[in-house]
């Protein structure tokens, strides 16, 4: 309507993580602080990458923004409201393709809409649009076993995009594909991000990937899981891995990462 709420202004923080801690109980009674006192605000439209060694709480943080798990202390807000569960406006893409092998690409993409009760014609249109966006317009009728690893991961991205989410939560989404495919998927993800103006929270083990993709890089450290540093990536886009400035940022992030005694790659 005409009275657009100020809370919808574009520069607002779409995600606010406020003094969040997460304790997982363990069988031996020895509890793990997967996250301790983590605060972070993500501006609407930002591409933020999270890196850090295994066990530093990256997936836990993503699962909280997705609404799959609750913090033990603190609060996570989306658009100013406390997150209490999953919602289609927060789309998730995992490393494993997690596609239904008995459904075509198109039906995999449509599946969530069907569950929400959307009619067939609209579902078809939305799925076609999402598959087109990830460059799979011609593969709608193929089954997962007929698709390469990179194509399967594009279907997983389309399955999130079909809900017209406001944020994409991606947990090492390109870790399982070969280097060449990975670089193609990165470029295409950037194109989609620029085209539709979505916010992206992207977990990776790969420093180069973080420097190539991110507006900012959240460097985390383990035991307990904390934010070690947030690095601004002030490089113009499209970025060139061969640029001296790219190399400098890579070295900076790499230095921060390796301060922590290290188990990462
Ligand atoms: P990352 O994604 O950075 O590898 P995770 O968020 O998966 O880190 O895990 C953070 C810490 O919490 C680790 O020590 C992990 O073993 C522990 N953890 C994660 N999920 C669970 C769970 N469901 N139950 C118990 N401990 C967990
Ligand atoms: Mg993880």
pLDDT band for 28, please (50, 70, 90 cuts): confident
Q: Whose CA is nearest to atom 24 of ligand 1?
A: 24
Q: Whose CA is nearest to atom 12 of ligand 1?
A: 34
Going from the Cα of 197 to the center of ligand 1, the distance in angstroms, rounded, reads 31
Beta-carbon contacts of 60 under 8 Å, excluding residues fewer than 6 positions away, are 22, 34, 35, 69, 225
pLDDT of residue 261: 57
Share of the chain above pLDDT 90, in %: 85
Question: Pairing relation of β-strands 167-171 and 73-78?
Answer: unpaired
Alpha carbons 133 and 162: distance in angstroms, whole number: 10
Q: What is the pLDDT of residues 198-251, one digit of tens each?
A: 999 999 999 999 999 999 999 999 999 999 999 999 999 999 999 999 999 999
Q: What is the mean pLDDT of residues 33-39?
A: 97
Mean pLDDT for all residues in the chain: 92
Q: Which atom of ligand 1 is nearest to the CA of 60?
A: 6
- Span of 93-97, 104-108, 223-227 with lowest mean pLDDT: 93-97
Kindly write down the DSSP assignment for every residue of 228-252, as one continuous string.
Answer: EEEEE----SS--TTSHHHHHHHHH
58 Cβ inside 6 Å of ligand 1? yes
Does the pLDDT value for residue 262 go beyond 70?
A: no
Q: Whose CA is nearest to atom 21 of ligand 1?
A: 24
Does the pLDDT value for residue 96 go beyond 80?
A: no
Alpha carbons 203 and 217: distance in angstroms, whole number: 10
Q: What is the pLDDT of residues 120-173, one digit of tens each?
A: 999 999 999 999 999 999 999 999 999 999 999 999 999 999 999 999 999 999
225 Cβ inside 6 Å of ligand 1? yes
pLDDT band for 259, please (50, 70, 90 cuts): confident
54 Cβ inside 6 Å of ligand 1? yes
Going from the Cα of 225 to the center of ligand 2, the distance in angstroms, rounded, reads 12
Contact 199, 10 (CB under 8 A): no
263 Cβ inside 6 Å of ligand 1? no
Q: Which atom of ligand 1 is nearest to the CA of 171?
A: 2
Going from the Cα of 154 to the center of ligand 1, the distance in angstroms, rounded, reads 26
32 Cβ inside 6 Å of ligand 1? yes
Q: What is the pLDDT of residues 182-198, one digit of tens each?
A: 999 999 999 999 999 99
Lookup: tokens for 45: 């439209």
> Rounded to the nearest 10 degrees, how much is the dihedral formed by the CA atoms of 189, 230, 175, 69?
-90
Mutate to test the pocket of ligand 1, among 57, 61, 68 (most ligand atoms within 8 A of CB): 57
Contact 219, 53 (CB under 8 A): no
Q: What is the mean pLDDT of residues 10-36?
A: 87
pLDDT band for 11, please (50, 70, 90 cuts): low
């Amino acid at each position: 309507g005409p009275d657009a709420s100020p809370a919808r202004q574009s520069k607002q923080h779409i995600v606010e993580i406020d003094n969040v801690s997460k304790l997982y109980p363990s069988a031996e009674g020895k509890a793990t602080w997967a996250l301790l006192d983590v605060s972070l605000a993500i501006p609407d439209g930002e591409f933020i990458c999270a890196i850090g060694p295994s066990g530093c709480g990256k997936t836990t943080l993503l699962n909280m923004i997705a609404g799959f798990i609750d913090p033990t202390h603190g609060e996570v807000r989306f658009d100013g409201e406390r997150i209490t569960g999953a919602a289609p406006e927060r789309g998730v893409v995992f490393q494993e393709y997690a596609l239904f092998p008995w459904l075509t690409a198109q039906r995999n993409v449509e599946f969530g809409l069907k569950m929400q009760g959307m009619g067939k014609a609209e579902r078809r249109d939305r799925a076609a649009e999402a598959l087109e966006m990830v460059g799979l317009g011609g593969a709608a009728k193929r089954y997962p076993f007929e698709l390469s690893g990179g194509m399967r991961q594009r279907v997983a991205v389309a399955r999130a995009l079909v809900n017209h989410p406001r944020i994409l939560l991606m947990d090492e989404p390109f870790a399982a594909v070969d280097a060449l495919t990975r670089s193609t998927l990165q470029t295409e993800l950037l194109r989609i991000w620029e085209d539709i103006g979505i916010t992206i929270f992207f977990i990776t083990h790969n420093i180069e990937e973080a420097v190539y993709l991110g507006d900012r890089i959240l460097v985390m450290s383990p035991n307990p899981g904390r934010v070690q540093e947030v690095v601004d990536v002030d490089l113009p886009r499209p970025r060139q891995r061969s640029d001296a400035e790219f190399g400098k940022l890579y070295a900076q992030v790499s230095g921060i990462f390796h301060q922590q005694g290290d188990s990462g790659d």
